[in-house]
Chain A
């Protein structure tokens, strides 16, 4: 029997056609899950970001929305202009003294459940801008769920952090009604990525040469394949 557990389907058996035993047919079309698990799954795969950009990082965030990276694969392409419709506040850039009350207000206008990704060094800690007009980290006035290093983080870093947030959101427990036991949101303890990746990073001994050129064919097959560019007939 299929069951929904920890934000994913478990016990799925795919069989061909609908002429198998009754249990197999039911197993494909009927799903049993706890309502709170199903909701967590729904939340996890529809994290709508607020369309709010501060500086350089926002350009990389916007790049991840476009076709080469396509953040729609993770259900997060619906950028909302109004904080009331958004789930995730991505603080993408330098947090300025003058804009701090604006960010605070936007955060307060977002409805629960809401999450915050701090994108880039400036938003994490002030980064290279230890200057009189810059707040040294957005966590001085709003809580942050995921910190993303980089100056600016490339689009794939944005997507990695989005997936990290998804794994956290998918395993959060939010009570649907009054019940026995703790009433508040139970958040999983997320491991530090620095610790998780440390062994791999420290074990790396070979680095690519500077003269190794990027694979432009990954952008589109006919870009690199035909030196003369695209022929008219292909458009």
Chain B
């Protein structure tokens, strides 16, 4: 292992400048491009005038050579309390589009400033179909309208909610708004609001044809349903047993993580990231800590990097095992889940020995990890990696070779690669369609480029192939853990940078500088320089990204959490249309989502 200078693969400056000059060549003449912003993450960021936004988006989507076919993320920022403008054309609100090009292996961030009374933008739903939910989320959270959106209504908050939560003037705490009560009239009102009315979604109740004439049936699944893995609600429009359309209803698990991030210090938000996707612990902390370190300019020592990688891979296995068992359970195999939770328990015992927690380890710190590995950790890890491969062979026979499971999943919920990209699929969903795209390989972070592993893919994009990819990834994770075990570097487990939090206690009593540093770092929290940084990482379900905006204080000004499950649940209607109702659970099971990751 050699020490690395940066925790992220440095984006080449030439590529960025090239992209910006391409954009300038197209839209510089009519003044559409207002400014080019330099960010800490090296993603080319351009500010576009509002009236030219749609043209520029269409240009980069379809006309630009090597275009940007994926809308990776879309959200907004309330800029009204911003202190550091940095010469940028900041208005009252900023909407940002994060686009991604696989050909270039590059991101592009397009920002548009909104000012004054008219908080509206043209909808880009005809360019990228997944803009649907992102635009609804912005409307829900900020009250910004998108002209041309067919169903612009609340997505996460209930329909009776008043106010726009992510605006800076909206209260953050429940204790600020008074005691919650559910008197009978409010109960009736809130339950009525959950009533599904097909007309509101443009769904006809009856079907007329020359030869047939029947009523559609509308079936409500959830939010309390055993097959939806949590509080997800789906309303299926059925013709007989065939699914005609599905309307997902989310927001039953909205914990307002993005709002909480604006009141927690940089350091004390780490436990909240654990709970964004509660199955994958450290994998959530990774992109957040990398982004904070990027903002602060902290270099993580090699031992901390390898510890992070090792614990990430353990959590990836744990998360995949839960998925594996529940997926098999969804299609009727009831015994596998008992084996897989058993093995998960072995992983959690290692995690508990190392981190002290089971599901929410709170293990990563800004600049490293919480503490060094305990004495004897290598025995525990070796025990597991020697034990697990044979279990995987068993699972393959038990689950993947099972003829009933194959009949239930092969050819069901097929997703084409074009659809997957257009709808923002990442992770195993994308790899099951045949694209070997894994951020650990193509944009390595935290030292992943030093590990030897493969990116498993499948070709058909159906439920069975998604399972195949998950299963092969388990073996690759094991391979990475073995390499961590064999070549764990020695050295410090956290950075000595003054912004690394918490500072090492042993340095405090040496002089007044380190004492002040420790006191401020622990009590007040680190103050990060103004700037923006975004880091995406390959989590267990796809690409998770944290886009942090610092305004030069001890809190984040805006934290945008892009989660894979949100994008994937939006695709469920696409995959389930034309299938039978019983196949819906196979589709849902194969997607690998967690509701806290959908609603955040």
Question: Which B residues are CB-close (under 8 A) to A67?
Answer: 338, 341-342
B182 touches A140 (CB 8 A): yes
- Does the CB pair B275–A56 fall under 8 Å? yes
Please, which residues of chain A bring their CB within 8 A of the CB of B376? Answer: 211, 213
What residues on A are CB-neighbors of B371 within 8 Å?
Answer: 210
Which of A7-15, A189-197, A198-206, A222-230 contacts the other chain?
A: A222-230
Q: Which listed segment binds A: B205-213, B252-260, B399-407, B522-530? A: B252-260
Once bound together, how far apart are the Cα atoms of A126 and B223, in whole Å? 20
User: B165 near A: Cβ within 8 Å?
Assistant: yes
Q: How far is the CA of A128 from the CA of B190 in the complex (A)?
A: 25
Bound CA span A217–B253, Å? 37
Among candidates B174, B231, B322, B353, residue contacting A59 with C-beta atoms closer than 8 Å: B322
Q: Is B226 an interface residue (CB 8 A)?
A: yes
Q: Is B352 an interface residue (CB 8 A)?
A: yes
B278 — which chain A residues lie within 8 A by C-beta? 55-56, 59, 152
What are the residues of chain B within 8 A of A96 when measuring CB–CB?
231, 251-255
Q: How many residues of B contact A (CB 8 A)?
A: 70
Contact A219 B342 (CB under 8 A): yes
Contact B346 A219 (CB under 8 A): yes
| CB <8 Å contact, B253 and A94 | yes
Tell yes or no: A176 within 8 A of B by CB: no
> What is the CB-to-nearest-CB distance from A44 to chain B, in angstroms, rounded to a whole number?
25
By a CB distance below 8 angstroms, the chain B residues around A140 are: 179-182
Asked if A216 contacts B380 (CB within 8 A), the reply is yes
B157–A133 contact, CB under 8 A?
A: yes
Of B223, B260, B344, B390, the contact of A230 (CB 8 Å cutoff): B390
Binary CB contact string for chain B from 139 to 159 against chain A (1 if under 8 A, 0 otherwise):
000000000000000001110
B187 touches A136 (CB 8 A): no
Question: How far, in Å, is B565 (CB) from chain A's closest CB?
Answer: 13
Q: Closest CB of chain A to B142's CB: distance in Å?
A: 14
User: Is B358 in contact with chain A by the CB < 8 A criterion?
Assistant: yes
Given A55-B596, A68-B345, A133-B254, the answer on whether A227 and B382 have CB atoms closer than 8 Å is yes
A132 touches B173 (CB 8 A): yes
Identity of the chain A residue whose Cβ is nearest the Cβ of B379 in the assembled complex: A213
B353 adjacent to A214 (CB under 8 Å) = yes
B353 surroundings in chain A (CB, below 8 A): 213-214
Residues from chain B with a CB closer than 8 A to the CB of A97 are 157-158, 161, 180
A51 CB–B CB distance under 8 Å? yes
Q: In the complex, how many angstroms separate the beta carbon of B541 from the nearest chain A beta carbon?
A: 15
| B279: interface (CB < 8 Å) | yes
Q: Are A63 and B255 in contact (CB under 8 A)?
A: no
Q: Is B337 an interface residue (CB 8 A)?
A: yes
Given the complex of chains A and B, what is the CA–CA distance between A56 and B226 in angstroms?
15
What count of chain A residues pass the 8 Å CB interface test? Answer: 56
- The smallest beta-carbon distance between B595 and chain A, in angstroms, is 7
Q: Is the C-beta of A163 less than 8 angstroms from some C-beta in chain B?
A: no
A115-148 residues at the B interface, CB under 8 angstroms: 126, 128-136, 140-141
Task: For the complex formed, measure the closest distance between the CB of B385 and the CB atoms of chain A, giving whole angstroms.
Answer: 9
Kindly state the separation between the CA atoms of A132 and B346 in the bound complex, as whole angstroms: 37
SS class of chain A's interface: helix, strand, loop or mixed? loop
A30 contacts B by Cβ under 8 Å: no
Min C-beta distance of A68 to chain B, whole Å: 5
For A137, give the chain B residue with the smallest CB separation: B180
A141 lies within 8 A of B182 (CB): yes
Q: B260 contacts A131, CB within 8 Å?
A: yes
Residues in chain A near residue B65, CB distance under 8 A: none
* Known interface pairs A94-B253, A152-B360; A213-B390 also in contact (CB < 8 Å): no
Q: B226 to A99, Cβ gap below 8 A?
A: no
Q: Would you call A104 an interface residue if the criterion is a C-beta within 8 Å of the partner chain's C-beta atoms?
A: yes
Bound Cα distance from A66 to B359, whole angstroms: 16
Q: Are B181 and A129 in contact (CB under 8 A)?
A: no
Contacts of B352 in A (CB 8 A): 214
B157 and A130 form a contact (CB under 8 A) = no
Flag if B359 contacts A134 (CB, 8 Å).
no
Is B171 in the interface zone, CB < 8 Å from A? yes
Residues of B within 8 A of A113 (CB): none
What is the distance, in angstroms, from A192's C-beta to the closest C-beta of chain B? 24
B349 touches A94 (CB 8 A): no
A3 an interface residue at 8 Å Cβ cutoff?
A: no
* Contact A63–B256 (Cβ < 8 Å): no
Residue contact B254 to A216, C-beta cutoff 8 Å: no
Q: Is B386 an interface residue when CB atoms closer than 8 A count as contact?
A: yes
Q: List 22 A-B contacts (CB under 8 A).
A: A51-B226, A55-B230, A55-B278, A55-B596, A56-B275, A67-B338, A94-B253, A98-B252, A101-B187, A132-B173, A133-B157, A133-B256, A134-B174, A140-B179, A140-B180, A152-B278, A210-B374, A213-B379, A213-B380, A214-B380, A219-B346, A227-B382
Apart from A56-B278, A134-B174, what are 18 other A-B pairs with CB-CB below 8 Å? A56-B596, A59-B278, A59-B359, A94-B253, A94-B255, A98-B157, A99-B253, A130-B173, A131-B260, A134-B256, A136-B179, A136-B180, A151-B360, A211-B375, A216-B346, A219-B342, A224-B383, A227-B382
Top-9 shortest CB links A-B = A56-B278, A66-B341, A131-B256, A141-B182, A101-B190, A211-B375, A99-B252, A229-B386, A211-B374
